[in-house]
Chain A
Amino acid sequence: MSELDSFREEARAWVRENAPKSLWGTSGSGPFEGYWGGSKCEETDPDLLRWRDLGIEKQWTAPSWPIEYGGGGLSREQEDIIHAEMKAIGVPRPVAGQGLAMFGPVLLEYGNDAQRAQHLPGIARGEVRWCQGYSEPNAGSDLANLQLKAERDGDAYVLNGQKTWTSHADLSDWIYCLTRTNPNAPKKQMGISVILADLSTPGITVRRIDLISGYSPFCETFFDNVRVPVANLVGKENEGWTIAKAILGHERSSIGRSIARQPGSAQREVVARARKHFSAEEGAIPDPLIRDEIASLGMLEEAFHLTLARIQESAATGTPGPEGSITKIVGSELKQMRFELGMKVAGIQGLGWEGPGFDEDDLQYTRDWLRSRATTIEGGSSEIQKNIVSKRVLGLPEGKK
């Protein structure tokens, strides 16, 4: 048996022995599902908290990070195996979120030792929650247009301006920001720096924004003469754009993987809803056109999972294929297709916002459907992803856009 195969057996045994039974089958085990932690976290589920503690003790919350920074010192392949074993029984990762999936890996690569020692262990233990300060009112798809000003004043940067769409800024402890340190750079990508800020610093205010779903997962974040130590600059001043893109790369692949959940789960979910709302407990779904649409969904879902596996396999052998760039496009379309069909089969029972006459599951589903419209926008819209693929993968010439 190869080393990886015996590690797989070890991981399987550990996960199955230790994951609390109440969590089995509850999660797609993606990087954004489960316990996000942070000092403002109000999680009370004892099993989720026990699972977090067991993961920390085993050093499997950030398996491939170095041990000195709270990781497990394992290889990427071993990390993939651990996550696959969690996914196989549908338990969440012991700690999830942006810090682990997006910011941490980039700090490991681009940060200095002091920054790694200061920030990574807290992320790995789920004690410190991070959010992303990228978008601004005039910098969405055109991110490099950002204006949040950071001016050097002695041993501090002084931040002035605004971020927006900052997911969970209200629940986070720290923010990594893209700032404008040189407004006169010849190209707008060139005057950008990555600066880390403690959200409790005086001068930062966070205001929640309501979504069409009724949730408020994101906020506006205002900076008014906020003093941040110079030591919080990641990498070199004015060279933050490369780091920004690296974080976006992690974000895109994480969104794709988070959407994936268990193979077949989207199809099962929609079939179950169709059975419920059509009162058809067994046999063929009575509406043949709906049935055909569900089959299309199920087929796309299977193809997506096979493609993710193929990408992961070829990445492990050191030759990543160009297919990596399409996972966000396909994953987000798949998610929207699933919710649209799930809403279609519910008919007028899917129209409820709140109150009597609608069951809890349907009310929740409707909110989730509305939330799903954001997946083709967040983390770089589908159109932006297509621009990237056409330029970097297909080699098509840049044009008037």
Chain B
Amino acid sequence: MSGHRAPSLLLNDEQRMLKKTAQEFIREKAPAARLRVLRDSKDELGFSRAVWNEMAELGWLGLQIPEQYGGLGLGFFDLCIVLEQSGRELMPEPFISTLLLGTQALLLGGTNEQKQALLPGVAAGERLLAIGYEEAGAPVVAKRTTDGFELNGQKLQVLDGHAADRIIVSAATGGGGASLFLIDPSQAGVSTTRQHRIDGLSSAILSLDGVAVRNDAIVGEMGKGASLLEAVLERACAGASAQMLGASEQAFADTIEYIKEREQFGVPIGSFQALQHRAVAVFTEIALTRSVVLAAARAIDGAPDDVPRLTSLAKAMASETFLHAAKEAIQMHGGIGVTDEHDIGFYLKRAHAAYMSFGKPSQHRQRWAELHDY
């Protein structure tokens, strides 16, 4: 341990302001109850373009995108402030697919041309991105052709793949290596089938049948796709954890409010110690989770050596906290908590989905152990 000063985990004045404005905007324009409406109306997208565009106008989609590509040039930490607020209302808009997966892949591995072509559109809310990397049975293979590659195979669970304007796909490029390719879903040979998830988000099955791409479709270095993807997923873990933190906070706040009001045996149920102590347990976990999420975001901006361990820590802890907060929220709401009419159930569904995404906590603990040489 050197005695150096650890990066601050506090927000500065502008960041506090951003947090407040984002919270108010989202509470008003994008309450969690929207998930029911979007589901029941069988909305084609599963989210609102209008809300997304308004957020673009407020500058929130380009917070971390450099100014030369149409963004504000702030840090990942600032992006996490908005992500946390989006999590409070379980927003189904494409934060993870576009801002975390797609944009981070371009920022970390994209050429100047690729960034120039896509990032201004992302910041403006016009372009949506996705990444396909999960597969089963039919791995995607890229075969060399005279002027590029031909892609064949299938990707699963491509988050927002049904709505994306560009999808980055990992494919085996021989010699055990993989590379990332940028493809246009409207291209010949590409088809996407939307998958409806329990948590109101959508993913897609992406089939590639003789899809021809040029050499300049490669993102990052040829054959080094796996390590680039790992760096992207670390950032996705941090950003998803910020969303889970916000969601945990909201589920918890709703629960505290409920147990202060609901009366049984002539007293508010929040006066029962059996509930109080469990509420404190959730409160404690949320406080710890806040620290690790902030630390992971800070590391992404300025301490690259700490990124692997702190992002795994954030993902593991935020997943456990959110799931616990959601389960306790339902239990403390009683019968109403398990009805579709009440919003609290959406928190459980998202908690489970988020827990399973980007590595379960047990996988991150294993990675943590490896990173600490045991």
Residues of A within 8 A of B (CB): 8, 12, 84-85, 88-89, 262-263, 267, 271, 274-275, 282, 284-285, 291-292, 294-296, 298-300, 302-304, 306-307, 309-310, 313-314, 317, 322-323, 326, 329-330, 383, 386-387, 389-390, 393-401
List 17 interface pairs A-B (beta carbons < 8 Å), by A numbering: A85-B3, A88-B1, A271-B374, A284-B370, A299-B317, A309-B6, A309-B291, A310-B291, A310-B294, A387-B276, A390-B277, A394-B280, A396-B259, A396-B279, A399-B270, A399-B276, A400-B267
Which 6 pairs of residues, A with B, have the shortest CB-CB distance? A399-B271, A295-B365, A88-B3, A306-B291, A390-B276, A303-B288
Decide if B368 is an interface residue (CB 8 Å cutoff): yes
How far in angstroms is the closest Cβ of chain A from B141? 32
**Contact between B256 and A294 (Cβ–Cβ < 8 Å)?**
no
- In the complex, A395 Cα to B9 Cα: how many Å? 26
Distance between Cα atoms of A284 and B290 in the complex (Å): 30
Known A330-B288, A390-B280: A8·B5 in contact at CB below 8 Å: yes
B1 touches A397 (CB 8 A): no
Interface string of B334-374 (1 = CB under 8 A from A): 00000000000000000000000000001001101110111
Across the interface, which residues of B come within 8 angstroms of A84, CB to CB?
3
Residues in B with CB closer than 8 Å to A397 are 260, 267-268, 270-271
Partner of B374, one of A85, A294, A317: A294
Nearest CB to that of A304 among chain B residues?
B288
Instruction: Write the nearest CB–CB distance from B174 to chain A, whole angstroms.
Output: 31
| CB neighbours of B1 from chain A (8 A) | 88-89, 262-263
Q: Can you name 20 extra interface pairs (CB under 8 A) apart from A291-B366, A394-B279?
A: A8-B5, A271-B372, A292-B365, A292-B369, A296-B365, A298-B369, A299-B316, A299-B365, A300-B288, A302-B292, A306-B288, A306-B294, A306-B295, A310-B294, A317-B10, A329-B280, A387-B273, A396-B259, A396-B260, A397-B267
**Complex: chain A residue closest to B288, CB-CB:** A303
Q: How far is the CA of A285 from the CA of B370 in the complex (A)?
A: 10
Whose C-beta in chain A lies nearest to the C-beta of B313? A299
B260, B288, B290, B362, most chain A CB atoms within 10 A: B288
Is the C-beta of B287 less than 8 angstroms from some C-beta in chain A?
Answer: yes
- CA–CA, A73 and B82, complex, Å: 43
Residue B146 is within 8 A (CB to CB) of chain A in the complex:
no
Residue from B272, B289, B369 in contact with A294 in the complex, judged by beta carbons closer than 8 Å: B369
- Cα A8 to Cα B291 with chains together (Å): 24
Known A309-B6, A401-B273: A295·B284 in contact at CB below 8 Å: no
- The answer to the question of B283 belonging to the interface, with a C-beta cut-off of 8 Å to chain A, is yes
The answer, among B3, B272, B313, for a CB contact under 8 Å with A302, is B313
Q: Which residues of B contact A285 (CB under 8 A)?
A: 369, 374
Shortest C-beta distance, A87 to chain B (Å), equals 8
How far is it, in angstroms, between the C-alpha of A27 and the C-alpha of B173 when the chains are bound? 53
Distance (Å) between the CB of B365 and the closest chain A CB? 4
A401 to B6, CA, bound (A): 42
Please indicate the chain B residues that have their CB under 8 angstroms from the CB of A314 in the complex: 10
Residues in B whose Cβ lies below 8 Å from that of A322: 287
Query: How many angstroms between the C-alpha atoms of A87 and B230 in the bound complex?
Result: 35
List B residues at the A interface (Cβ < 8 Å): 1-3, 5-6, 8-10, 256, 259-260, 267-268, 270-273, 276-277, 279-281, 283-284, 287-292, 294-295, 313, 316-317, 362, 365-366, 368-370, 372-374
**Cβ contact within 8 Å between B277 and A386:** yes
Q: Is the CB of B260 within 8 A of A395?
A: yes
Which of A291, A298, A390 has the largest count of B CB atoms less than 10 A from its CB?
A390
Minimum CB distance partner of B6 in chain A: A309
Question: Are the CB atoms of A399 and B3 closer together than 8 Å?
Answer: no
Which residues from A are CB-within-8-Å of B362? 292
Report the minimal beta-carbon distance from A186 to chain B, rounded to whole angstroms. Answer: 24
Q: Are B10 and A398 in contact (CB under 8 A)?
A: no
Q: Given A291-B374, A396-B276, verify A303-B289 contact (CB < 8 Å).
A: yes
Flag if B279 contacts A326 (CB, 8 Å).
Answer: no
* CA gap between A282 and B370 in the complex, in Å: 11
Given the known A-B contacts A295-B366, A394-B256, A396-B256, are A12 and B374 also in contact in the complex, defined by CB atoms under 8 Å? no
Q: With both chains docked as a complex, state the minimum distance between the C-beta of A321 and any C-beta of chain B, in angstroms.
A: 8
Bound: A44/B1 CA distance, A: 29
| Residues in chain A near residue B280, CB distance under 8 A | 326, 329, 386, 389-390, 394
CA of A329 to CA of B372 in the docked complex: distance in angstroms?
26
Residue of A at shortest CB range from B9? A310
Residues of A within 8 A of B2 (CB): 88
Closest beta carbon of chain B to A122's beta carbon, Å: 31
Q: Is there an interface contact between A326 and B283, defined as CB atoms closer than 8 Å? A: yes
Q: How far is the CB of A334 from chain B (nearest CB, A)?
A: 10
Chain A residue numbers with a CB within 8 Å of B289 are 303
Q: How distant is B290 from chain A, measured CB to nearest CB, in Å?
A: 8
Measured between beta carbons, the chain A residues less than 8 angstroms from B283 are: 326, 389, 393-394
A317 and B10 alpha carbons, distance in the complex (Å): 10
Cβ contacts under 8 Å, A309 to chain B: 6, 9, 291
Closest chain A residue, CB of each to CB of B369: A295
User: Which of B272, B279, B313, B316 contacts A399 (CB under 8 A)?
Assistant: B272
Distance from B1 Cβ to chain A, minimum over Cβ atoms (Å): 5
User: Which residues of chain B have C-beta atoms less than 8 A from A393's C-beta?
Assistant: 283
Distance to closest chain B CB from A332 (angstroms): 12
Residues in A whose Cβ lies below 8 Å from that of B290 = 307, 310
Give chain B nearest CB distance to A69 CB in angstroms. Answer: 28
Which A residues touch B260, using CB under 8 A? 395-397
Question: Bound state CA distance, A306 and B310, in angstroms?
Answer: 11
**Max chain A C-beta neighbours (<10 A), residue from B277, B283, B294:** B283
Residues of B within 8 A of A295 (CB): 365-366, 368-369, 372
In the complex, A304 Cα to B295 Cα: how many Å?
Answer: 12
Give A265's nearest chain B residue, CB to CB.
B1
Min CB distance A107 to B, Å, is: 31
